[in-house]
Amino acid sequence: MVTLTRANAQPLPPNQIALKCPLCSEQFHLHYTEDEWHRVNLMLKSANKALREDHKSRHKSNHVNLAWTSG
């Protein structure tokens, strides 16, 4: 399972990546399971797109919805 949530703790465990919203200074963590590590590049592209979309609603939620494209 892959999730994108508002940043709250440091340091990050090995299965998390810190991300900054590309439109503001809000920080988020991309969490992924051990069996998802091989999809990190795809996850990062989807996460950055999701953060831009979530920015429009001013990051009101702690959880950001990720949309996956097939292929």
pLDDT tens digits for range 17-64: 999 999 999 999 999 988 888 888 888 999 999 999 999 999 998 999
Number of domains in the chain: 1
In a domain, 70, yes or no: no
pLDDT at res. 68? 66
In a domain, 50, yes or no: yes
64 vs 12, residue with greater confidence: 64
11 vs 19, residue with greater confidence: 19
Q: What is the pTM assigned to this prediction?
A: 0.80
User: Contact at 8 Å (CB) between 17 and 30?
Assistant: yes
- From the list 18, 12, 19, 9, the residue with the least C-alpha distance to 49 is 19
pLDDT at res. 9? 67
Structural domain span for residue 50: 3-64
Phi, psi for residue 69 in degrees, rounded to 5: -95, 145
pLDDT at res. 28? 94
